[in-house]
Amino acid sequence: MNETIGRLKKVSLREVWPREPSDFTPWLAENIDVLNDTIHMSLSIEEREHPAGMFSADLLAEDESGNPNYY
């Protein structure tokens, strides 16, 4: 087995996701399991760009009890 060990490198978030709406939000929606593992919850994405008054939430997620969570 050929394993490679590398070093962690601190990078700017903008280097990975230059634009929040078109880069980060879609990535988070597709990788909600990463957030779930980090915050020890079980969220599922229900909707993107959900209306919230004069604004919109990037993501609407529900927890395992069906409670809404806006991000």
Average pLDDT over residues 24-48: 93
pTM for the full predicted model:
0.73
58, 31, 25: which is closest to 44 by C-alpha? 31
- Phi and psi angles of residue 14, each rounded to the nearest 5 degrees, phi first: -65, -20
Average pLDDT over residues 39-65: 91
Q: Do the Cβ atoms of 23 and 29 come closer than 8 Å?
A: no
Work out the pLDDT band at 70, boundaries 50, 70, 90.
confident
Work out the pLDDT band at 41, boundaries 50, 70, 90.
very high
User: How far is it, in rounded angstroms, from Cα 59 to Cα 33?
Assistant: 14
- Helix (H/G/I), strand (E/B), else coil: 28: helix
Average pLDDT over residues 3-20: 93
pLDDT at 33 over 90: yes
